[in-house]
Every structure is written in C-alpha cells, then in structure tokens.
Amino acid sequence: MPSLQATAALLEQSLRTRRDLLGRRSTGVTRESLARLSRSPAPLSQISNLKSELPREAQLDALREAVSACRQCENLAETRTQTVFGSGNPQADLMLVGEAPGADEDRLGEPFVGRAGELLTKIIHAMGLTRDDIYIANVLKCRPDTAPGAPGNRPPTPLEMQHCLPYLRAQIALIQPRILVALGKTAMLALTGADQSMGAMRGRWFTFENIPLLATYHPSYLLRNGSNAEKRKVWEDMLLVMEKLGLPVSEKQRGFFRSAS
C-alpha cells in the first residue's frame, strides 16, 4: 500500500489538474468546448514521478477517493446515493465506456448492473470473456438527477460531462487498455467530440490518445430495439474487437444473430 503522503499527493495533483483543465465554472458550456476538453492531455500524464512509485491499483483507489469526494455538480452530489467509479481488471486489454449510472448502479455502486448491464454481461460472455477480464466505466460517475417521481434516467448535460471527463481520462491513462469501446452516442461525444448519429459511427474505428476506439450501440438501445438485425450489428462490432485483440473466434460465434426476427 502507498504511504498516506504519497496518496494525498496523487489526490491533490489529480484534482489540481482537473481544475486546470476545466478553468472557471461557467454555465455556457457548448459541445465545442466539450470537444476541446476531449482533446486535452489526460490528467495523470503530468505525474509520471508518482506513477512510477505507486502500483496501478493504488492510483485507481486514490482516484476513486477523489471521485467520491467530488461536488463539482452540486445537484448530482446532493441526489446521488454514491458515486459509481468503475469495475473490473485494472490491467485489462479491453475497456468499455458507457454514459452514466442509472438507479440500480446508484444503489449498488457498480456500473452496468441493471437490465442493460445484464445484457452487456451476456455480450461479454459471448465473446469468451468475463467482466473480471475487462474494465467498465461511465463518462459520469454520478446518476443524473431527475424530477421526484419521474421514471427512467436522463442523459448527462454537456456541463456535467465537462466536469467528469477528466476522471474518465485519468482512468484510461492508468489502465492503458489496448482497445476502447464507446457504448452509445454520449460516450462517443465525450471521448472524441464527435456529434453524429450512432448509425453513422457504429462499427467504425476511431482513436483516443492513440488507443483504437470502436463505437457501438448502448445495451439499452437493444432493450428498446431487440430485433436480431440490431443485435447482429452490435455483435459484428464485438467481432471486430475480438479480432483486433487476437481472441479466437469460432464459426458458431461468427454466426450469432444472423437469422432475421
């Protein structure tokens, strides 16, 4: 375990870098400013001296503490049950990035544990992997607040994403995955600044900090549009990921969801 002094220094540097990236708080956040932030240097890239001294797991624990103490979005800090940092293998080759926690994630403190999470787990298993083999995180670490009694979830605002994006960038910088997968349009907007339809982006390779990044539909999309044709699109994206990672792909796997229904 790192010393308290080293952990405190890491926390302070992480928070200071976030403040430097965000600048003064403002209400006039645009998609253009979010895109500029997505191209800013990763927050932890400036602390190589600390990175060389602390194990990756300890750095992630320190970053988790910084996230849990964050009140940059006061409305979310007031309404959250807890922050949802991320879960999985800190040494993962594959990292999946979603949008934001929902009610189940807010309650349990883990990403993708509701109905969409159950479907995502099935997709991961179909790839021959488990959730312990990969790392999963969201752009936002708090559940976006909704009106009392309002059903469902709402997407993050650009300002909320701007506040939280440095934390995600720090996670990626620490985990150093070989492949990133953006689950849905919000994740793609946060990581690349791209504001296109998912139909135009899915199945295409982009880059984030020189890491190959693939866009695909969020599992919640498949819950709403669950035809085999739509499932096949997501599965074809996962086949691209498997091939780039050098994972074995059987003929049975290649044939998943080919029948129309």
Write the CATH number of the domain with boundaries 4-254. Answer: 3.40.470.10
How high is the pLDDT of residue 64? 96
Please report, in tens digits, the pLDDT of each residue of the chain (261 residues total).
334 454 445 455 545 544 544 443 333 445 555 555 555 544 444 333 344 468 999 999 999 999 999 999 999 999 999 999 999 999 999 999 999 999 999 999 999 999 999 999 999 999 999 999 999 999 999 999 987 777 778 999 999 999 999 999 999 999 999 999 999 999 999 999 998 999 999 999 999 999 999 999 999 999 999 899 999 999 999 999 999 999 999 999 999 998 755
Unique residue bearing structure tokens 């984030």: 208
Task: Give the contacts of 166 (CB within 8 A, at least 6 positions apart).
Answer: 17, 18, 21, 22, 37, 43
Task: Give the contacts of 135 (CB within 8 A, at least 6 positions apart).
Answer: 86, 87, 88, 89, 90, 92, 94, 95, 96, 171, 175, 177
Domain ranges of the chain: 4-254
How high is the pLDDT of residue 4? 43
Q: Read out DSSP for 114-166? A: SHHHHHHHHHHHHTT--TTTSEEEES-SSPPP--TT--S--PPPHHHHHHHHH
How high is the pLDDT of residue 6? 47
Rounded Cα distance, 186 and 24, in Å: 24
How high is the pLDDT of residue 32? 59
Rounded Cα distance, 117 and 109, in Å: 13
Amino acid at 165: L
